[in-house]
Amino acid sequence: MKKQLDRFFCILLLFIAQLSWSQSYLPLAEYKGKTCHVIEVTQGLTLFSIVQQTGFTGDEILKNNPGCQNELKIGQKLYMPIVRKTISHKVSEKETLFAIAKRYVVSVDSLISWNINSDKGIQIGQILIVKNAAVRIDLVNQSVAEVKVKNIRDTALYQRNFDFDDTLLIHIVEQGESLYLLSKRFMVSLEDLRTLNKLKSNQVKVGTALKIPINKELDIVLGPKSIPSKVVSQPIVATTQKKPVIRDPKIAVFLPFTVDSVKYPLNGTSKAAVEFYLGALLGIKELEAIGVRGEVTFYDYLSESTNFPEILSSSEFSEMDLVYAPFHIGPAQLVADFCQANKIKLIFPVNLSSNFQQTNPYAFQLTTSKVNLAINLANDIYELQNGEQIILVRSKIKADSLLEEVFLITYQALSKVKGKARIIKANSDNFKSFSKNGIKTWYVSFQSEKDKIIRLLTYTSELNHVKVFGLKEWLENKEISSTITNVFNFNYESPTYFNYKSEAVISLHKKYRATYQADISKIACLGYDMFTLIPKILFLDNSMEEGVISRVVFSQENVNTFTENKASFLLKFVEFESYKYFDEVE
């Protein structure tokens, strides 16, 4: 009986929700036994603009609305099943439990059962847990040309990647695109595109949904991807040249596609390789736009047919100007030895948890080390603090103690400025006593023991005059990064900053969706940064660059050692999400 009442109540809420939220969100309706978003086609609306505004992929729209491939008719309705997730909702002004329940299409009774004492009233700013919440999507009522820059709502809640069920990608044709250009972009023959899409000619209308065979794109990753020589952009002019400018670099990239043994849907390293590759292709376009010409070759180093000795001994490989190392230690060391012997620059885009590259003067480590993160934290805290007392909560773990010593030495070596606090040392047993006097306090901890981390965060979460500075590794504990009773906030240094709400990610996300009809990932952003940052630094003499998720400041201790990245972001972890320290949190 209770289940029947709940279902009736949800249907009632569904009806009311369409009226109450008609000005903000797509209406909902029951369609073929599912609760769906309803998109009504208006003048100028195309599949492409729907993809851009809603975040649904072209493939998803076509699967749920067969027959809309070629064109949409005014008044036509498209139905897309809702996505339900457990979310945290921050109560805003004038919101009630009833209004929140309507928004997420759940019952008020359920909302109360998930949030103790909420039946007695809710407060502005209070965080409510909403289980099985319907993710709402903004209204779609204009063409993509009329859409102004705006945030991508709730992207993290319905993050999608490619649908590889049929090894096909659905591409919505944009203004200015031709079948010929698309065949070149996706590396598929014109004949295959015409046959697959039942086209009689090479003419294709804007908004048409084309099927692209993904597996054929992966079949030729061993071949070169050329950067076109014809560009319409002004050249970069450097006033002071410290090293020769190279505008036609030859670049090799090792990625773990495992094409000859891949299984769909992709996962693990194969999935990461594809996402990195697709991000890299967008980055290559950026190089083209600033006048860089060259050739990029992608090598599938986990393929059973890959012959490393043959690759490394080829004349083509010995002429490389830059190589991106494999993601795995064994293959990476083979490539590193070759690059060192042949004086070829080698980038390590990910942390391999190994030190073999440190004695290679041609190696560049992108991931900022823990030691440099500790140094950056000391510098940031020294600059930021203004009258707070700084408490270092020490650990008994050797690895933690090393970072503590680095932090202390760096902080103490800074010039003494009036008003800057000295470091007070504490431990896990007595740290609470230092904040009981009400003085503004900043706790610093490099603890790796979960119980002690939770103890520190639990205690400080109830104190308004206290901040905590810790490690990014703390986020690996589900008690901190998942939805739980205690909402923990702390600050930390990170080599990268990936947030769907950041302006840089939003901007690239739109390009990525427009090109691939898929939501972007952190590894795709990394692939993009590798081709918009590194070649500029190494070949155009840019000393420092910040990309979509990366910040790079290379430094070499001496001519016989590797070059490491010493840059990082100071981030704050608030309500289960990380932001730049100085950014306002919504």
CATH of the domain at 546: 3.40.50.2300
Does residue 501 share a domain with residue 482? Answer: no
Q: Map residue 144 onto helix, strand or coil.
A: helix
Helix axes 522-532, 503-516, angle to 10 degrees: 100
Bridge partners, 92 (sequence order): none
41-50, 394-403, 560-569: least confident range:
41-50
Do the domain assignments include residue 320? yes
Does residue 139 share a domain with residue 80? Answer: yes
Q: Average pLDDT over the chain, rounded to whole?
A: 79
Question: Can you spell out the DSSP letters for 251-302?
Answer: EEEEE---GGG--SSP-HHHHHHHHHHHHHHHHHHHHHHTT--EEEEEEETT
Does residue 101 share a domain with residue 63? Answer: yes
Does residue 322 share a domain with residue 277? Answer: yes
| Average pLDDT for 121-142 | 83
pLDDT over 50 at 11, yes or no: no
Does residue 499 share a domain with residue 359? Answer: yes
Does residue 297 share a domain with residue 364? Answer: yes
The parent domain of residue 361 ranges over 223-368+495-570
Q: Please enumerate in sequence order all residues whose Cβ is within 8 A of that of 105, keeping only pairs 6 or more positions apart, or say none.
A: 10, 13, 14, 17, 28, 35, 82, 133, 134
- Taking the C-alpha atoms of residue 432 and residue 459, their distance in angstroms, rounded to an integer, is 8
**Amino acid occupying residue 231:** V
Do the domain assignments include residue 309? yes
pLDDT over 70 at 585, yes or no: no
| Average pLDDT for 325-341 | 91
pLDDT of 395-429, one tens digit each? 999 889 999 999 999 998 887 776 688 899 999 89
pLDDT over 60 at 471, yes or no: yes
Does residue 57 share a domain with residue 23? Answer: yes
Q: Map residue 508 onto helix, strand or coil.
A: helix
Do the domain assignments include residue 575? no
91-105, 368-382, 507-521: least confident range:
91-105
- Cα dihedral sign for 158, 164, 166, 171? positive
pLDDT over 50 at 328, yes or no: yes
Instruction: Give the domain-ending residue among 458, 475, 494.
Output: 494
Instruction: Give the domain-ending residue among 220, 236, 254.
Output: 220
Question: What is the per-residue pLDDT for 238?
Answer: 33
**Amino acid occupying residue 24:** S
486 vs 549: which has the higher pLDDT: 549
| Average pLDDT for 340-352 | 93
Question: What is the per-residue pLDDT for 279?
Answer: 94
Do the domain assignments include residue 578? no
Neighbour count for residue 3 (Cβ, 10 Å):
7
Question: What is the per-residue pLDDT for 478?
Answer: 76
Percent of the chain topping pLDDT 70: 78
Query: CA torsion, points 520, 525, 528, 534, in degrees to nearest 10?
Result: 180
Residues 303 and 219: beta-carbon distance below 8 Å: no
pLDDT of 478-528, one tens digit each? 777 665 555 788 999 999 999 988 999 999 999 999 888 888 999 999 999
| Average pLDDT for 127-139 | 86
Question: What is the per-residue pLDDT for 110?
Answer: 86
Question: What is the per-residue pLDDT for 290?
Answer: 83
- Among 80, 35, 127, which Cα is nearest to 461's? 127
Do the domain assignments include residue 579? no
pLDDT of 425-465, one tens digit each? 999 899 998 888 888 999 999 999 999 999 999 899 888 89
Does residue 512 share a domain with residue 477? Answer: no
| Average pLDDT for 530-549 | 85
Do the domain assignments include residue 84? yes
Say which DSSP state 237 is in: -
pLDDT confidence band for 45 (50 / 70 / 90):
confident
197 vs 267: which has the higher pLDDT: 197
Neighbour count for residue 367 (Cβ, 10 Å):
16
The phi and psi torsions of 348 (rounded to 5 degrees) equal -100, 100
- Among 256, 260, 265, 261, which Cα is nearest to 167's? 265
| Average pLDDT for 203-210 | 77
pLDDT confidence band for 378 (50 / 70 / 90):
very high
- Among 246, 323, 251, 324, which Cα is nearest to 292's? 246
pLDDT confidence band for 389 (50 / 70 / 90):
very high
Neighbour count for residue 150 (Cβ, 10 Å):
9
| Average pLDDT for 225-235 | 35
- Chain-centre distance of CA 88, in angstroms? 20
Instruction: Give the domain-ending residue among 117, 152, 187.
Output: 152
113-117, 224-228, 356-360: least confident range:
224-228
Neighbour count for residue 335 (Cβ, 10 Å):
24
pLDDT over 90 at 240, yes or no: no
166 vs 111: which has the higher pLDDT: 111
Do the domain assignments include residue 255? yes
pLDDT over 90 at 469, yes or no: yes
Does residue 412 share a domain with residue 264? Answer: no
pLDDT confidence band for 269 (50 / 70 / 90):
confident
pLDDT over 60 at 219, yes or no: no
Does residue 166 share a domain with residue 135? Answer: no
Question: What is the per-residue pLDDT for 184?
Answer: 62
Do the domain assignments include residue 586? no
Counted domains in the chain = 4
Does residue 194 share a domain with residue 182? Answer: yes
- Among 35, 41, 44, which Cα is nearest to 15's? 35
Strand 389-393 versus strand 441-445 pairing type: parallel
Does residue 134 share a domain with residue 214? Answer: no
Q: How wide is the angle at C-alpha 266 spanned by C-alphas 265 and 267, nearest 5°?
A: 120
